[in-house]
Amino acid sequence: MDEGPPTPAPEDAALVAAALRVYRRYQREIVEGLHLCPWAARARQEGQVREEVLLGRTPDVADAAAAATRVADASEIEIGLLIFPRARLTRAEFERFVGEVREEHTRREQARMEPRRRHGGGRLAMAAFHPDAAPELSKSSRLVPFLRRTPDPTIQLVRLSALDRVRANDPAHGTGVVDLRTLDLAAFLATPPQPPIHERIAAHNLDTVKSLGVEAVEALLADIRRDRDATYAALGESVSAG
């Protein structure tokens, strides 16, 4: 049975609503608005995304791992977002925290498996998103932290089976079906192999930022952060930098 995210205490409901609102600005204006992920809008529209706000001032590994398990157990959910509006960790500290959550998630998953199947990891991939990162345009992979500047520290959870489906349908992984009866072998061999899909997405995102201008993207992210700070301050929440 899908438990779903816990209901916040009445005194925390306004902060939870504010954290979700500013995160959704990032989702709409940055991820979807700049077309950074080809599946983000579809997943949201089809109800395959779940957001959960965790309110501890010092993020707790066990609480985050439990939230990850709730996402993993909800079979219809492919993307989960764990949002930490009160966390005051630097990006390096938060990345270490996410690594600890990943390890705990794997430990819990393995504990639930039959002994003969305890050889893999968990059901979810995890990535750290954090509001503090400078743009680095020298290489597509180095731009990723800048584009992951969510208003609050956030853990993105992606179901591994969904990633497997994407890879299975990606010609760069060699799993596409080729009809040998109609194949132009010379043309096929002359076509340079494509890089993996995650590299193509990163390259596309770098081109997007260069085309728009990094200053314009920075301004969008900064406006979302100002919205966050003003909203949290009105609620009496600390808005000091992470």
Token pair 């990535």 is found at 127
120-137 pLDDT, tens per residue? 567 899 999 999 999 999
Question: Distance between CA 44 and CA 26 in Å, rounded?
Answer: 13
Contact in structure between 107 and 78 (CB atoms under 8 Å): no
Contact in structure between 168 and 196 (CB atoms under 8 Å): no
* The amino acid at 16: V
Q: How far is CA 124 from CA 39, 99, 193, 198, in A?
A: 17, 13, 29, 17
The pLDDT of residue 230 is 97
Q: List, in sequence order, the alpha helices (H) in the chain.
A: 13-26, 40-45, 61-73, 91-112, 140-147, 160-168, 185-190, 197-212, 214-234
Residue segments in the chain with a per-residue pLDDT below the cut of 70: 1-2, 114-121, 166-195, 240-242
The pLDDT of residue 37 is 87
Q: How many CB atoms lie within 10 A of CB 127?
A: 14
The pLDDT of residue 129 is 97
For the chain, percent helix, then strand, then coil, each to nearest 5?
55, 10, 35
23-71 pLDDT, tens per residue? 999 999 999 999 998 888 999 999 999 999 999 999 999 999 999 999 9
* The amino acid at 176: G
| Among 24, 22, 156, CA closest to 77 | 156
The pLDDT of residue 232 is 97
The pLDDT of residue 186 is 59
At residue 159, the 3 state secondary structure works out as: strand
The pLDDT of residue 27 is 97
Sign of torsion over alpha carbons 218, 221, 227, 229: negative
Q: How far is CA 178 from CA 166, 175, 185, 229, in A?
A: 18, 9, 11, 53
Q: What is the DSSP letter of 33?
A: T
Q: How far is CA 36 from CA 30, 209, 210, in A?
A: 7, 10, 13
Contact in structure between 130 and 97 (CB atoms under 8 Å): no
